[in-house]
Structure 1
Amino acid sequence: MAPVGQTTQPVAVSDALVRARQRAALVPDLLVEAQRVANTVITGWHGRRKRGVGENFWQFRPYVEGETLARIDWRRSARDDSVYVRDREWEAAHTIWLWADASPSMLYQSSLAQVSKQSRAVVILLALAEVLARSGERIASPGVMDPIAARNASERLATALMLQKEESDWPRLDRIGRHSDVVLISDFLDPAETVLERLAPIARRGVRGHVLEICDPAEEVFPYNGRTEFIDPETGEKLTAGKAETLHDDYQRAFLSRRSNIAENLRRLGWNFITHHTDQPASSALVALHTHLSGVVGDGLRGTAA
């Protein structure tokens, strides 16, 4: 059970339809924020373009003995004494699937953060869609939007989120094909065993995964003292602590152990795990995700996105 605040401000649990309408009302502003975030970090980035089978010109390079003569570009070769072939750009046949949790626990926002976990998750989702679309990638969202390759993909994803009537605490991942990428953004507050049971099968199918844990700082540091009532946003279950500070060490140990368990097991499956705190800029999480998707991962980018 995650802490939700002092007894003076109980949190009401809205039904799914009300939550969907509230999120839809926020999406236009979140899209603007996402595009701003994308613009601050996109300079100098490129898509995963490389040599291969495709329709677009990539580069000229010297002819290698044994290659088919049909690949020689005779016009370019006539300019000097070398023989050149015309390479085409490799076109990725897979899709990058993006999903952000919309369950009640994502609505949490403590006094230590300026935004809710849900708002930050949607901003990162749309900002990543913006960056990937500008890079020419094909993106989709399970249960929300079918795969598309378009410069306005982030706007189309935002519209799809606004029109979404049903919410689920977990996406259907059966449509995601082998060698595709999936980015999952959530607080992952379920028991580690539950999270791993959901993710292990798709990881073993050959799907590349990138898991972004969204964490309100209060959920990690547990800054509560005195008589405090905690409410589970998913079930409404309540827990009243006479002296909340006495729970600090046990709570923090359990919270961090759950995270470490999930992260370690996902890495064994070849997936990336990143933690992002809502009191930090969204751009840090965007940079970390894009770096992992690009396959350029340094030791300093593994683990937590500040």
Structure 2
Amino acid sequence: MASVGQIVQPTPTRDVLSRAQARAALVPDCMVEAQRLANTVIAGWHGRRKRGIGENFWQFRPYVDGESLSRIDWRRSARDDHTYVRDREWEAAHTVWIWADLSPSMMYKSTFGAVSKESRALVLMLALAEILARSGERIGCPGIMEPIAARNAAERLATALMHNPAAGGLPDTAMIRGNSDIVLIGDFLDPVADVMDRLGPLARRGLRGHVVEVADPAEELFPYAGRTEFTDPESGMKLTAGRAETLKDDYARAYAARRESLADNLRHLGWSFITHRTDRLASEALVAVHAYLSGLPAMKTEGIGR
């Protein structure tokens, strides 16, 4: 998506092939980080573990008078003086579509950010896929991977990302059917009206949406002073400021107004909105998304939640 006032980066303009190669090199490290991140928050995963009519064993528990005798596990009961039934886990796999913006503006990283926006978006995407896959959900990525219910869904998504060309803008969602959740991760710096023109129809089709805005600290703080040249990494348009510090107040107001407008519009759709800076812990955003997917209030932590 288009960038707002990003400082010129030394990296030259890349064509589709070189962008794909760069992303292919980035994805394996992001997958390793995503698995580490998933393990740190797995206690709060988006699970549905409860008794029901699934096929997977969940637990043994004492038999209660009135229950069907066919539910008794005689082998387990024979081990001691109690009678046990074999509970099974409720399996109602849900489909969650996850998408990350991989357009050139996401490559941005200032000296204030821990990683690039692209790297953080990929880690969040793959970590979320890892957690959801462990709980038996069906995971898909619009235009990249059809929904699958598999323990290695995150790894398969990572492989699919490595072999698909980088695409900018919001994804094609024509393939999404049924009552699903969709998680969109990006910087969302395009005009709000343009973003909502794409998201509005998804909400009207019944999709439950969760938007994660990933920002570099410099995009919020505008720490520039003196003669500074800015460029749009997608269009190549440039802006030279003789005294960049004089733009700070106007820029801050415009940036905040854009974010607030986007948040209000998403709220009216019934969608969640999370802001996340790359100098914050990735786990904060992951836990917040997980909470929304689970139907719980998001954590009220600096840098996330709305």
Give the 3 Å change call, closer, same or farther, for CA 258–113 of structure 1 in structure 2. same
The alpha-carbon distance between structure 1 residues 294 and 166, as it changes in their structure 2 partners (threshold 3 A), is same
Q: Deviation at 1:301?
A: 6.2
Measured after TM superposition, the shift of residue 298 of structure 1 is 4.7
Aligned partner of 2:94 in structure 1 is: 94
| Structure 1 residue 77 displacement after superposition | 11
> What aligned pairs does 1:254-269 form with structure 2 within 5 A after superposition?
254-269=254-269
1:15-34 equivalences under 5 Å are 15-34=15-34
Partner of 2:81: none
Query: 1:45 Cα deviation (Å)?
Result: 3.8
Measured on the aligned residues, the alpha-carbon RMSD in Å equals: 2.8
**Superposed displacement of residue 290, structure 1:** 1.0
Tell me the CA shift for residue 16 of structure 1.
Answer: 2.0
Offset at residue 148 of structure 1 (A): 1.0
What is aligned with 1:238?
238
Partner in structure 1 of residue 295 of structure 2? 295
- State the AA in 1 paired with 2:28: P
Once the two structures are TM-superposed, the CA of residue 265 in structure 1 deviates from its matched residue by: 1.1
Q: Percent identity?
A: 62
One-letter amino acid of the structure 2 residue matched with residue 4 of structure 1: Q
Is the contact made by 1:95 and 1:140 (CA closer than 8 Å) also made in structure 2?
yes
Contact 2:34–2:126 (CA under 8 A) maintained in structure 1: yes
What is the number of residues matched between the two proteins?
A: 294
Task: Kindly indicate whether the alpha-carbon contact (under 8 Å) linking 2:96 and 2:180 is maintained by their aligned counterparts in 1.
Answer: yes
TM-score, with length taken from structure 1: 0.86
Q: 1:46 to 1:123 in 2, by over 3 A?
A: closer
Q: Measured at CA, do residues 88 and 179 of structure 1 come closer, stay the same or move farther in structure 2, by a change above 3 Å? A: farther
Deviations 1:169-203, CA, capped at 9 Å, x for gaps: 22111222232111110000000111111101101
Q: Distance in 2 between matches of 1:136 and 1:72?
A: 28
Shift of 1:151: 1.1
- The offset of 1:125, in angstroms, is 0.7
Question: Structure 1 stretch 9-18 or stretch 190-199: which is displaced more?
Answer: 9-18
- Tell me, what secondary structure is at the counterpart of 2:43? coil
**What amino acid is the match of 1:18?**
S
Structure 1 unaligned blocks of 5 or more: 65-70
Q: Distance in 1 between matches of 2:125 and 2:179?
A: 21
Q: Which residue of 2 aligns with 1:5?
A: 7
**Structure 2 Cα separation of the partners of residues 298 and 112 of structure 1:** 26
Amino acid at match of 1:229: E
Point out where structure 2 has 5 or more consecutive residues left out of the alignment.
78-83
Cα distance change of structure 1 residues 49 and 124 upon mapping to structure 2, 3 Å threshold: same
Are 2:44 and 1:48 equivalent residues in the alignment?
no
Residues 183 and 44 (structure 1 numbering): CA distance in 2 closer, same or farther, change over 3 Å? Answer: closer
Q: Which amino acid aligns with 2:230?
A: F
Q: Secondary structure at the match of 1:102?
A: coil
How far residue 57 of structure 1 moved from its aligned partner, in angstroms, is 5.4
Residue 277 of structure 1 aligns with which residue? 277
Which of residues 52, 68, 71 in structure 2 aligns to 1:72? 68
Q: Is the 1:274–1:302 contact (alpha carbons within 8 Å) kept by the matching residues of 2? A: no
Q: Distance in 2 between matches of 1:191 and 1:297?
A: 28
**Cα distance, 1:93 vs structure 2:** 4.7
Alignment of 1:1-306 (within 5 A): 1-5=3-7, 10-43=10-43, 45=45, 47-50=47-50, 54-56=54-56, 72-74=68-70, 76=72, 89-298=89-298, 300=300, 304=304
In the alignment, the residues of structure 1 paired with residue 225 and residue 151 of structure 2 have an alpha-carbon distance, to the nearest angstrom, of 50
Using the TM superposition, give the Cα deviation of residue 94 of structure 1 relative to its aligned residue in structure 2, in angstroms. 3.5
Q: For residues 298 and 105 of structure 2, what CA distance do their matches in structure 1 show?
A: 32
| CA distance in 2: counterparts of 1:46 and 1:4, whole angstroms | 36
CA distance in structure 2 between the aligned counterparts of 1:121 and 1:291, rounded to whole angstroms: 18
- 1:146 counterpart SS class: strand
Write the letter of the residue equivalent to 1:270: G
**Are the counterparts in 2 of residues 63 and 85 from structure 1 also a CA contact under 8 Å?**
no
In the alignment, what sits opposite 1:67? Answer: none
Distance 1:263 1:73 in 2: 54
Provide Cα deviations, 1:121-161, integer angstroms capped at 9, x if missing partner. Answer: 00111111111111111101111111111111111111111
Asked whether the equivalents of residues 107 and 117 of structure 2 are also in contact (C-alpha less than 8 Å), the reply is yes
Question: In the aligned structure 2, how far is the partner of 1:46 from the partner of 1:194?
Answer: 31
CA contact (8 A) 2:98 2:125 kept: yes
